[in-house]
C-alpha cells in the first residue's frame, strides 16, 4: 500500500489495531526495522537455503508485467518439486521504472 513503516507509531493505527484484536501488542518502528524485519529476512533466507539443498533441481522464472495503470513490475520466482509436490516461492517483486532493456533487467 506504500505506507511508511512509521505508521506503527501512529496513535490512530494503534487504536484501530486494538479494536481489531484486543491482544495486539504495540511495536515501535525502530523495533520493526532493527529486530523484526532482519530476523524475518534471516528466517526466510535460511528456509530457502534448506529448500534448495533438499531439492534436486530448482528453476527460476523472471517476469515483467504491467498493472491497469501501466506501471511495470519485475518478479523473480523459484520453482521446485519436493516430496512429489510442486512448490513455488516468490523471491522478489519490485517496481520497474524506465525502459525494459537487457542492461536494466540485469541491473535489477
Per-residue pLDDT of the chain (108 residues; tens, 9 = 90+): 678 889 999 999 999 999 999 998 888 999 999 999 999 999 999 998 888 888 888 899 988 888 898 889 989 999 998 888 899 999 988 998 888 788 888 887
Residue among 85, 86, 65, 88 nearest 75 (CA):
65
CA distance 1 to 69: 15
Cα dihedral sign for 30, 38, 88, 61? positive
Cell triple for 4 = 511508511
Alpha helices by DSSP H, listed for the chain, are: 11-20, 29-31, 37-54, 102-107
> What residues pair up with 61 in beta bridges, in sequence order?
77
Cell triple for 98 = 524506465
**DSSP tally for the chain: helices H, then strands E:** 4, 3
CA distance 12 to 20: 12
Amino acid at each position: 500500500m506504500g505506507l511508511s513503516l512509521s505508521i506503527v507509531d501512529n496513535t490512530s493505527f494503534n487504536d484501530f489495531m486494538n479494536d481489531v484484536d484486543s491482544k495486539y501488542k504495540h511495536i515501535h518502528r525502530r523495533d520493526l526495522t532493527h529486530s523484526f524485519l532482519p530476523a524475518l529476512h534471516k528466517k526466510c533466507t535460511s528456509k530457502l537455503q534448506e529448500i534448495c539443498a533438499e531439492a534436486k533441481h530448482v528453476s527460476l522464472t523472471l517476469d515483467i508485467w504491467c498493472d491497469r495503470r501501466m506501471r511495470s513490475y519485475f518478479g523473480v520466482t523459484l520453482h521446485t518439486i519436493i516430496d512429489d509436490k510442486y512448490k513455488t516461492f516468490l523471491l522478489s517483486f519490485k517496481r520497474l521504472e524506465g525502459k525494459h532493456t537487457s542492461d536494466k533487467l540485469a541491473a535489477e
